[in-house]
Copies of this chain bind each other. A is one copy, B any other.
């Protein structure tokens, strides 16, 4: 290690199903990876112990401890400012978990945590389509609707690290009940669950044949598949979804004036069925001086790769010596 410059980081992606650890170099090459099941650990302390053991095993087998600058974690409901996972509804650990501090104490390395939208944004900036951009929005459309934005080259966290809660902005007063307890949040329309609910409304409203009628359990992925087969009611479902998302994003963009809006997450893979109505509605509603100027596109990083790359970008975003604060 000439000059003691460390050229690798560890990226950790925590999702409900599994935890992925990876050693990643400065160019975004994944040197090595390992996985384990997140849900096996109902106790946070045993989870953190296992996670740190897995990280150390991986690091020792791939270049050694001295090569690692820092650790980045992408997790639901993670707050970069506090280093905590805060009241994550879908993870086994309740309340506020000081994950960065717990890991740092066991690893002796600086650790940063960020929620999935923030990690995705950092990954897009470091290795993806946002490279070189100063002002942009990233949207993660999946189980929930996460977002974050960059302001003049830095990530905007807000006063307490809660910024980017676009999913819980109101698009329909007195509308659908959201998981957060409010009515009319855009997430209750634009998310895996929201799209299925829209499909059910479309099926009830429009008396026409549809592949969706024979389906025992609908999902946004199945509905997108039916769009590809030309199913009109499936297409109508995504048309309504894209229309609402277009209004919401137009409002978001009118306030931020971004260069681009990057879509990631499972739902973004529906492609044109979502994007075409989204763009039409966006252009109709965005502030006039921005019309035709905001690029809207789906992340070009692969889904699996994006999560650990995003986590590795969080690691680079942390001060190496924040350990000694």
Contacts and interface: CB of A to CB of B under 8 A. Distances in A.
A256 interface: yes
A169 interface: yes
Nearest to A287: B165
Given A285-B182, A287-B180, A258 B170 contact: no
Interface in A159-210: 159-166, 168-170, 173, 180-182
Nearest to A251: B169
Contacts of A257: 157-165
Contact of A162 (B134, B157, B165, B287): B287
Given A156-B256, A257-B165, A170 B287 contact: no
A135 B162 CA distance: 12
So how many copies of this chain end up in the complex? 2
A160 B293 contact: yes
Contacts of A151: 151-152, 154, 156
A276 interface: no
A26 interface: no
A160 B295 CA distance: 13
A227 to B, nearest CB: 24
Interface residues of A, number: 43
Contacts of A1: none
A247 B173 contact: yes
Interface string A285-319: 10111100100000000000000000000000000
B159 A250 contact: no
A210 to B, nearest CB: 26
A320 interface: no
Contacts of A19: none
Contact of A165 (B147, B157, B255): B255
A33 interface: no
A259 interface: yes
Residue from A135, A162, A166 having most chain B Cβ neighbours under 10 A:
A162
Given A166-B254, A180-B287, 16 more contacts: A86-B289, A134-B159, A135-B156, A135-B159, A152-B154, A157-B257, A159-B259, A160-B257, A162-B287, A163-B257, A166-B255, A169-B254, A170-B250, A170-B251, A182-B285, A255-B256
